Each structure stands twice: as C-alpha cells, then as structure tokens.
Structure 1
C-alpha cells in the first residue's frame, strides 16, 4: 500500500470547502463526548459508556437505515453494576432519531486519531482540485451525495447489522473516484514502505487505481482479518459514485501540468 503525501496539480483559488470540512472533522473528533480516553490513551469505563451512547445516537446504523426501526434498548452513557460486574447501562432510547439525518452526522465522526488523520490526508491532497473544478457549492453537494451513497450501499449489503457506521471515508472515496476520472495523469508523490519509506512520483491512475482494487479486494473479505470492522463496501460504493458523478465534467477539464523528463519521481537520463 502506498501513502500519498502531495500531488503535482496546483489550484488557482482557495479550496474553502475542503479546508472547512477538515476543520469540522477535527473539531467534532476533539469534542466528541468520551473521546478524551483515545486522546490520552487512558480511557475509563465511564468514558467508554458515554462514547457508546453518543455513537448510538448520532452514527448511522444499517438496521435503522434499511428497516427504519429504532432499537428497543440502547446505552444510556451511565455505568452500572450487575451480576456480571460493572458495565454500561442500557435502557429504552430517550430521544428521537432520524436514520436519514444520522448519515450526515456520522460523516463527521471518527473512532481514532489514525482513522481521522488518514481520511483528512486524502481529503487534503485530492479535495482541492475537485473543489476547484466543480465550484464550492457543487463540491459540497457532491461530497454529501457520495457520503450518502456509500452509507446506504453499505447498509444494503449489511441490512441486519446493528453496528454503528462512522467516518468520512465514503465521501472521501467519492473524491478519489472523481480525481481518477478528471486527473488520471496528475503526478502524486507517495511513500512506498520497502524496508524504508521510498518516495516515488506516480501517476494518479496508478495510486488511486491500486487503492480501489485493494478496497474491492478487502470488501470481499480477502487479505484482512478485520473486514468486519472496516466498511470497505462503503469505500467501493463511494468511489464508484464519485467516478460516475464526475464523468460529465471530464471533457472540459484542463490537464494537470506534467513534469518534464520525470519518471517515477526521478529524472530520466
């Protein structure tokens, strides 16, 4: 797996929406109730219960999206002691939840720093060019549509799952799909882990094409042991949605600058 760090595809304007999305995601993560434990590495049972209750209320749940039914019992955020010892108290939900709106709120929730920073890195590198090509408002709408498509695609494939679905991965996968369509020959600096991190400059179609192939492979449960905890299907659906939505813009998209004499990050002799 390669790690992108920068693309050679400058923009002329300021990608305000991309910046705002990054700031919003970071702010929501930092102020998510019960997330302090993941920041300090010392999470208590009370923090865990609080976090579970928060995610149950604001995350997207496939069962709720498909069947539109609320669970009978949910975590309350409190700690109780029972025959099995201390644990999170569950009770009938004391709130009304819109499954459709939960898809939007879930797009700004992340479970760890690694989850958050990985998503924001991809959005930082590839989002600015897509925003410039689409315009601020259309890009924001595009981002949301891809996120919804990814969440509902995952829910359809896992309609009986009661696990919360969180993260901006589906929407950002749509951005990657659009980038592949509009700027396939743009050069992307990547780090390739091979004994050390080897820097290379590769065409976007290789970087993003490889990313998509891996997500599709993982979504089938191949090559990973945590396929049930990562929504690879959402990544695949979001990517395809972004690719299809951006396709009509391809004819009028100017090509990115091409470095002369550059071959995989090194100058040809």
Structure 2
C-alpha cells in the first residue's frame, strides 16, 4: 500500500513543507551527488550520518564498517559527530529511500503544518527527528553503522496526523502483481497499520547487537518519531487553525466524517 494523496485541503500554502522537501532534494543532489558517485554517497553517509557508537563512545575507534563497493566507514571522534542527529535527517541512502520519504511527507506534512503554523512546524519536525535519533541510540547504543534519513521526523508528522485527522480518507495505491487500484482508506487504518509494521519489524532489534539484523533499517527510530509526534501535537497545534480546517473540510466533503 502506497499513500498518494488525501481528502484533506489546506488553508495556507505549506511553505515549510516545500522548503524541507527542497532542502532534502538539494542535499541529495549537491552533497550526496544524487547517488551517481558511490564514493561521494558513502562519504556523506559516513561523515554526516549518525553513528550511535560514536556518540556514546561504545564503538571502538578505528573500527571499519563496510558500505559497499569496497568502501568502508571508520569509527572516529570528530567534533562534527555531535551534529549528526540533525545532519542525518537530510541525508538518504538511495533513490528509493529518498522518494519513499518524500512521498509520505508530501501526503501528510502539509496538513500538519497547516494545523500548527510554520514556525511551530519547523520546531516540531526537528524535535521529532531528534526523538527518533534518541530512540535509535537507546536501542542500539554501540552500533558503528551510520544512520541516515528523514524517516524519523516524518514518522513524527504521521503520528501527529493520526491524532489530528484519524477519519480523513487517504488515497492508497494497491499493487498486487498486475492488479493496480486506488482505494480511499481512513487515515487511522493507514497509520496504525504502518506503525504496526514498524513495531513488528523492530522487535528483533531488541535482541541483537546491531540494526543490521533487520536489514539495516532503524525501525525504532520510526517508532520513536511516531510516538514523539503523538505526544507533542497537543502542545504544538493551533486550535484556531484546526477548527478552521475542520469547518472547511466539512463544507468540501459533507458526506465524509
């Protein structure tokens, strides 16, 4: 199932959502080389990605970590490491990783921004990303593997959406062999299904020494971001905006809940 849109109009242009997407795209093209140069991509992931073991000091200095194509990332103690929980939010490991994150953010981000205002949304997004990083650190504090991606922050946006608009319909693309169809599905079903997949997939990581056991995906960062978004939304939402949005949605879709 792939979300492609929702029946949830916005009152204001989602400037921050556009800027964040643009920043992610800029970083991917001009810093990571759009994935066309294996060395440049590996260097960005190694130097600007978050390595839990570097932050906690639990990974041995000089430990090499394979990144593919004969390239390795070596655990170090450079000052830039302290900033990697933030810099890693704007990096990606490949086109699929990038496009998947951007699609989810495109569908859910504009409405959450519209419900709290632009400045609050910037702070909210970064806090969710940091909470996701903290969750990953807690589960795998000694990992020498670099972690990158906007997934944790976007997970927070999705958690906020769940509480704000649980009954809004999300248009989901279903692809089963040659069967391709779009169905409207309540947001609560889409988001709880997604969260359940992350939780089920992340459980094995609690019994391993490295996130590599789950294919290198930091599922607990997704879970931490999602929970943070649910916990923070009542603090960050602007009730005047959400009331205006609810009234407009009911006018445009009077037969929808």
Tell whether 2:24 aligns with 1:25: yes
Which residue of 1 is the match for residue 87 of structure 2? 105
Change (3 A) 1:36 1:191: closer
Tell whether 2:53 aligns with 1:66: no
Structure 1: where are the runs of 5+ without partners?
A: 38-46, 76-85, 264-269
Tell whether 2:234 aligns with 1:247: yes
Which residue of 2 is the match for residue 231 of structure 1? 218
Query: Which one of 207, 213, 234 corresponds to residue 190 of structure 2?
Result: 207
**When the two structures are superposed, what TM-score results if normalisation uses the length of structure 2?**
0.83
Q: Which segment drifts farther, 122-131 or 195-204? A: 195-204
Contact 2:59/2:143 (<8 A) preserved: no
Which residue of 2 is the match for residue 193 of structure 1? 175
Secondary structure at 2:79 match in 1: coil
Which residue of 2 is the match for residue 266 of structure 1? none
**When the two structures are superposed, what TM-score results if normalisation uses the length of structure 1?**
0.79
State the distance in 2 between where 1:87 and 1:29 align. Answer: 22
Report matched runs for 1:68-217 at 5 Å. Answer: 71-72=61-62, 87-88=70-71, 96-195=78-177, 196-217=179-200
Structure 2: where are the runs of 5+ without partners?
A: 206-211
Report the number of matched residues: 241
1:50-81: CA deviation from partner (whole Å, max 9, x where unpaired): 43333221110011222388833679xxxxxx
Which residue of 2 is the match for residue 5 of structure 1? 4
* C-alpha deviation, 1:36, in angstroms: 4.3
* C-alpha deviation, 1:221, in angstroms: 3.3
**Runs of at least 4 residues off by over 4 Å:** 33-36, 86-93, 248-251, 260-263
Q: Which of the two has greater helix per residue?
A: 2
